[in-house]
Structure 1
Amino acid sequence: MTAPADPPLPSAPDTSGALERRTLWAYALPALGPALLYNLVVVMYLNFATDQLGAAPGVIGAIFGLSKIWDAVSDPMAGYLSDRTRAGLGRRRSWLLGSALPIAAFSLMAWAPPRSLEGTALTVWIAVGIFGFYTAFTAADVPHMALGAELTVADRGGRNRLFAWRQLVRTLGMLGAFGIGTAVVAQPETGREGAFWLASGVGLFSVAMLAWGVWALPPERPDFIARGARNPFRAVMDVAGNPHARLLLFVFFIESMGTGAIGVLVPYVIRYVLELPTAFIPAMLLCYTVAAVAGIPFWVRLARVHEKRRLWLVAMLLSGFGFGLIFWVGPGDWPLMAISGLIAGFGGACGNTLGQALKADVIDVDEYRTGERKEGAYFAAWSFAGKLAAGLMVAVVGFALEATGYVANIEQPQEVRFAMVALMGGMPLAGYAFGALAFARFRLSEAEHTRIRNELDARQTP
C-alpha cells in the first residue's frame, strides 16, 4: 500500500511583507562571530585542554558533559523569558544586545587561562569559562532563531531564504573556526598565545556585529509582545502537545546522540588514526564546511518545487552515509575522510536551512491552536533536545578515551583507535538512520501550513 501523494505546493507564496536585503544582512551577520567561537570550542577545546593545558581528558569530558546539559536546560529558560520580555528594543533584540559582552568575555576566559594555574584551580577556571560561554551563547542563539520566525510571518515565500542566509553566515563562521581557528590553536608551541589573540579579536567582532544588528533590524511586531505562554510549565506542555514538534524533538535527540562526538574527535582521528600531522585538521574540516556552503543554494532551490520535509529526509540519509564512511578509515586514508566530509556537509546543509524553516512552520501551527506566539519556547525545546544528547556524547568521548588507555602525544593502542572511529563514524550512521525512520512519519505538508497561515492572517484582518 503506497502513501497518498502530497497536495501540490502553492504556486504563489505570499510576498506582501517581503524582507529587504538590509534586513537579511542585519539578521544574519551577527551570527558570524558567535558561530566561529562556538564551533572552535566544540571541535578543538577538548584536544586543546588535554594536550596544551595539561588537563585530564576525563575531567574535561565531565566539564563538557555537565556544561552541555546546563546549556540544554538553560535553553527553555531563555526561550520562555524572551517570549515574555517587555523592552523598548523588543523581546528578542534586547537579548541579543545583552549577550554580546558575556560571549566575548567567557570565550576569552576559556581559551586563555593564566599560565600559573594548574590542578584544581585550572579545572575551576575552565569550568567557569565553558559554562559561562555556553550560557551567553544560548542567551543570543535562542532569541535569534525565534526572531527569524517572527520576521517571516508576513513573507512565507522568504522563510527559506532568511534561514538560508543565517545558515550561510553560520557556516562561514564554522569555516573560520575550521580553517583559521584550528590552525592557530593546534600549534604545540604557539597554540596558547594564538588562542588568546583569536578569542580577543573574534570576541570584539561579535560585540560589534550584535550591536549593529540590533540597531539595523526593523522594529519587532507590537502585536507579538506578551503573547508568549503565561508560565514555563504551560509553554512546555504546549510544545509537548504539538505532534509535529514532539516528533522533531525525538528526531533531534536521536540524531544528536549519533553526531555529538564528531566535532571533538576530528583532531584525535587525524593525529592518531590517520597518523597525519595537525596541519591536516583544518583541511579535513574545510571539506565539510565548503560542501555545507555549496549545499545551501542547492537545497533552497529544490525547495521551490519539492516539499521541505521530503528533501530533509533524503538529506538525513545522505549525511548518515557520509559520516559512516569514517568507520573505515585507517593510516593515511585522508581521501576517504575528505569524501566523508564532502558528503556529510552537503547533506547537513539541508537540515540547517530548510529544517529551521520547517520549525517556524510548526510554530505557526501552535499559534493556530493556542493563539500565542511562542517562538522562543519552541526553538529552545528543539535546541534542548539536541544539546542534551550532544553533551552526553561529549562526556562519553572523554570517558571512553580514558577507559581505553588514551595518553596524549604518543602512539595509541588499537583499542583507543577503534573507539575513536566507532564514535565518529558508527554512531552518526546509526543516529541518522533511526532519525530518518522516525521523521518519515512527519505529516505537516506545505499545503496544510499554507491553509493554517491564511486562516491566521484572516484573524488579524479587521
Structure 2
Amino acid sequence: MSTRRMRAGYGVGDFALNLHWNAIGMFLIFFYTDHLGLAPAAAGATFLVASVWDALLDPLAGTLADRTRSRWGRFRPYILVGGPVLALALPLAFTDPGLTGAALTAFVLASHMLLRTAYAFVSIPYAALSARIARDPDERSRLAGVRMLFGTAATIVSAVAIPTIAAQTPGADGWTIAAGMMGMLSILGFAACVVWTREPVEVDTPPVSRGWRTELVRELSAYAAMVRASPSLRRVIAIIMLTSVALTMFSKMILYFFKYVLMAEASAPLALFLLTGGAALAIPLWVWLSIRRGKRKAWMIASWAAAANFAGFYLLGSASFTLACIFLFLVGATTSAFAVLFWSMLPDTVEESELASGSRGEAKTFGLAIFAQKTALGINGLLVGLLLPAIGFVANRPQSAESVHGIVAIMTLIPLAGVVLGMAVMRGYGLSADAHAAIRARIGGTTAP
C-alpha cells in the first residue's frame, strides 16, 4: 500500500471523528441553553460529568486496544465496529425529548454519556494508530499535518453545515437532522480509514490475564511508569490540558458572540468557516516549520502570533463585523499550529518512554493524552456554564453592556492566558529531532510492534 494512500486513509479517519468532536465542542452547550432551555450552570455541569466519564474511559480503551490481536490489527477493529455506534449516538444527543426540569437534565446527561462512551472506544485506537504506521519523526509530522488538514476540513463542513441545516427546520428538530447527517457522513470516513491503512504484522502475543484486580494494578502501574519515564510526555500532557481548556473557550463562545454581541446570528456559519478556513490554509506552514525549525521552536512562533491575535480581538473584534471576521481568520491560522504540534510530539514520547521503561504502549500514551484533553474539555464546559450567569447572561434576551463585554472577555482573555502558560511549559521541552534519533538508535532504530 502506498504511503500516500496510507496518509489519506489515516486523515479521513480524523475527518470522521471531527464531525462528532466539533458538533460537541462548538454547538452542544449552545443547543442546551438556547434550544432545550437548560440553565447554563446545568448545561456546564452535565458537560463536565460526560467529559470526565469520557476521559476515564480513555485509559481503559487504550489498555484493551493494546491487548487486542486480530487479522485487522490491534486498533482498526474498534474503528470498524465503533464508528456506526458513534454515528447513531450523535443525533440522539441533539434531540429534544420534550421533558423539563430534572427529567430533561437526566436525559441530556445520559445521551451525552452514551455519545462520549462510543467516542472513547473509537478515538483512542484511532489516535494510537499513528504510532504504528509511522516510526520516523518527520513522517509523523507529515501524518499529523494530513490528519489536521482532514480534521480541519471536517470542522469546516460541520461549522457551516450543522447550523445551516438546523436553520431549515424550526426548533430543535433541525439540529437532530443536522447531527444525523453528520453521523451518516462519518461512517464513510471510518470505513475508508479501516480499508486504506495497515498495521504492522504482530510479532508478540497478548499478555496473559491474571484476574481483573491484578490486571488493574498492573495497568495503572504501567501508566505511572510511562509518565515517570518520559519528561517530554509530561510536558505534552500539560500543554494539551492548557490548550484544551483555554482555546476551546474561543470556539464555544463564537455563536454567543455573533448572536448577542454583533446581533448577526445568521452569519455564524460564515464566522466558523473563516476560523476553520484560516486553520486549513496555515496547517502546511506549521508542518513545514516544525520539520525545518523543530517542534518547540514552531510552538513558540505560533504562540506569539496567537497571543497577538487574541489581544487584538479583545480590543477591536467587537467594533465591527469586518474586524471580527479578520481576527477569526487570524486566530484560526495561528492556533491550528497547536494541534499539529502536540499530535506530532506525542508519538515521539513513545520511544522516550520505551527506552527508560523497557515497554512500548502506543495506545496507553494516546489514551493518557486524550484523557487529559477530554478532562480539560469538561472543565471548559463547566467554566462556560459558570461564567455565563456570572456576567449576567440570560438566553434569548438582549444582553446588558456588562454581559456583552463579558462574552468578549471570556472568548479572548482566557485563551490568551492559556497561550502564555503554554509557552512557559514548552520552554523546557527537549525532545528534538536529534534527541529522538539518538533514542531510536539506542533501542535499535526500529522497535517491535
Q: TM-score, normalised by structure 1?
A: 0.88
**Alpha-carbon distance between aligned partners in 2 of 1:320 and 1:390, rounded to the nearest angstrom:** 21
Q: What is residue 129 of structure 1 aligned with on the other side? A: 111
Q: What is residue 101 of structure 1 aligned with on the other side? A: 84
**Alpha-carbon distance between aligned partners in 1 of 2:208 and 2:303, rounded to the nearest angstrom:** 32
Deviations 1:340-375 (A, max 9, x none): 222222222222223211111111111222232211
**Alpha-carbon distance between aligned partners in 1 of 2:66 and 2:275, rounded to the nearest angstrom:** 35
Q: For structure 1, which runs of at least 5 residues remain unmatched after alignment?
A: 1-17
Deviations 1:145-197 (A, max 9, x none): 110111102x4442211111111111111111112212333x39625332222
Equivalent of 2:251 in 258, 263, 279: 263
Shift in alpha-carbon separation, 1:298–1:191, aligned structure 2, 3 A:
farther
Deviations 1:122-163 (A, max 9, x none): 22222122111122112111211110111102x444221111
**Alpha-carbon distance between aligned partners in 1 of 2:445 and 2:10, rounded to the nearest angstrom:** 28
AA aligned to 1:259 is L
Deviations 1:231-259 (A, max 9, x none): 32123212321111112222222333322
AA aligned to 1:364 is E
**Structure with greater helix percent:** 2
AA aligned to 2:244 is S
The equivalences for 1:335-350 within 5 A come to 335-350=322-337
**Alpha-carbon distance between aligned partners in 1 of 2:208 and 2:251, rounded to the nearest angstrom:** 35
The answer on 1:117 being equivalent to 2:105 is: no
Shift in alpha-carbon separation, 1:224–1:301, aligned structure 2, 3 A:
farther
**Alpha-carbon distance between aligned partners in 2 of 1:375 and 1:225, rounded to the nearest angstrom:** 16
**Cα RMSD between the aligned structures?**
2.4
The answer on 1:357 being equivalent to 2:344 is: yes
Deviations 1:96-147 (A, max 9, x none): 1232122112111111234x33333322222122111122112111211110
Q: What is residue 250 of structure 1 aligned with on the other side? A: 238
The answer on 1:160 being equivalent to 2:141 is: yes
Q: What is residue 279 of structure 2 aligned with on the other side? A: 292
Equivalent of 2:417 in 416, 430, 436: 430
Q: What is residue 427 of structure 2 aligned with on the other side? A: 440
Shift in alpha-carbon separation, 1:321–1:183, aligned structure 2, 3 A:
farther
Contact in 2 for aligned 1:259/1:390 (Cα 8 Å): no
**Alpha-carbon distance between aligned partners in 1 of 2:253 and 2:208, rounded to the nearest angstrom:** 39
Q: What is residue 212 of structure 2 aligned with on the other side? A: none
The answer on 1:86 being equivalent to 2:86 is: no
Equivalent of 1:396 in 371, 375, 383: 383
Shift in alpha-carbon separation, 1:393–1:156, aligned structure 2, 3 A:
closer
Quote how far apart the aligned CAs of 1:213 are.
2.2
AA aligned to 1:24 is R
Identity %: 28
Deviations 1:284-336 (A, max 9, x none): 11222111111111122223421122112211222233233332256552233
The answer on 1:382 being equivalent to 2:369 is: yes
Q: What is residue 147 of structure 1 aligned with on the other side? A: 129
Shift in alpha-carbon separation, 1:19–1:312, aligned structure 2, 3 A:
farther
Shift in alpha-carbon separation, 1:94–1:278, aligned structure 2, 3 A:
same
Shift in alpha-carbon separation, 1:224–1:393, aligned structure 2, 3 A:
farther
Of residues 288-297 and 254-263 in structure 1, the stretch that sits farther from structure 2 once superposed is 254-263
AA aligned to 1:79 is G
Shift in alpha-carbon separation, 1:225–1:60, aligned structure 2, 3 A:
farther
Q: For structure 2, which runs of at least 5 residues remain unmatched after alignment?
A: 210-214
AA aligned to 2:108 is I
AA aligned to 2:237 is L
Deviations 1:383-435 (A, max 9, x none): 22232223112112112222333222211123322322221111110111011
The answer on 1:368 being equivalent to 2:355 is: yes
Contact in 1 for aligned 2:142/2:287 (Cα 8 Å): yes
Equivalent of 2:266 in 274, 279, 303: 279
AA aligned to 1:149 is A
**Alpha-carbon distance between aligned partners in 2 of 1:181 and 1:228, rounded to the nearest angstrom:** 46
